[in-house]
Amino acid sequence: MYTVYFLKVGFGMKGVESNEQNKGIMYAFSAYLLWGVLPLYWKLLDTISAIEILAHRIVWSFLFVFAIILITKKGKQLKQQLGSLIHRKKVLLGIVISSLLVTSNWFIFIWAVNSNHIIETSLGYYINPLVSVLLGVLVLKERLSFWQTVSFALAGIGVLILTFQYGSFPWVSITLALSFGLYGLVKKMANLDSLIGLMLETMIITPFALYFLISIQAKGNGTFLNTSVDQQLLLVGAGVATALPLLWFAQGARRIPLSMVGILQYIAPTISLMIGVFLFNEEFTKTHLITFIFIWSALVIYSFSKTKLMVALQPKIGKKRSISA
């Protein structure tokens, strides 16, 4: 509750909508908290291949979301959306693309966590907000302020330092940031209800995941029927662990300012970073520290780029015009 109080004070939130705002903060906070500790969940399944975990995650997510739709009586809305997709080819294409993007994001994340790259996943989700805004500039023709441009430059320098120091591109971090950033962009352009959208995305990819699971089980390589009940329950629970934070996030985003959502989203990668460093003893070098300092600085500048103080400090670029003779 202290978290709710301080966030409300910081953002000047008060009045008759206080109860709804409290709910919004708790929903969003819970979503990012669960996303932050999710590496611990996948670590419990690290004896199973990432591709098999992914397939189970897809299938059980589909079934869990379908159950939620039945409980919330959104079946009619789902039926209407399915019927309209025949005539809305761009939306259908968007759903297919978003399905592929979120599937690749899930796979890379699971593989990275179980291959001891939790710190790189954390870096990826720190970069993600900046990637999302950059996509907005490139695709939606949104404009950046001076300080927002500075934040992108700092983030770019941080990534370059890590790349040159290790002699290899931080592909895990960048791929996670790009795939989720593009996923958000496609979702925004498709403009579907979050629950219905997730249902359609998982529905498209579920037949392939189910075919894969049946195939490996038939060949005797599947894990589900040959493992302990605990592991089976964890694989089934992967659907809940996937869908629940997405639903919480959707509920929270409806009730609180976007600026507050922007601050709360740093909870998840911060928790993941702490898990990687302190629980699993992943290597965190001086180069990592320098890179994260650049990224954190970029995020602070971006988060406060539209405040009165930062606007006042912004250089008057392009304001003066030369007088032609």
Domain ranges (residues) in the chain: 19-143+170-271
Q: Which stretch, 18-22, 116-120, 248-252, has highest mean pLDDT?
A: 116-120
Quote the pTM value. Answer: 0.83
The two three-digit tokens of residue 207, written as one number: 């037949």
**Backbone torsions φ then ψ of 8, nearest 5 degrees:** -65, -40
The whole-angstrom separation of Cα 30 and Cα 43 is 20
Best-predicted range by mean pLDDT (82-91, 120-129, 163-172, 233-242):
233-242
Q: Check if the beta carbon of residue 108 is closer than 8 Å to that of residue 114.
A: no
The encoded tokens of residue 323 equal 């007088």
pLDDT of 51 > 90? The answer is yes
pLDDT at 241: 93
Q: What is the mean pLDDT of residues 76-99?
A: 84
Model pLDDT for residues 203-239, shown as the tens digit of each residue: 999 999 999 999 999 998 999 988 999 999 999 999 9
Say if residue 41 is exposed, middle or buried (CB neighbours under 10 Å; 0-12, 13-18, 19+).
middle
pLDDT tens digits, one per residue of 55-64:
999 999 999 9
The two three-digit tokens of residue 115, written as one number = 């291959």
**Closest residue by Cα to residue 273 from 292, 260, 294:** 292
Predicted local distance difference test score (pLDDT) of residue 14: 52
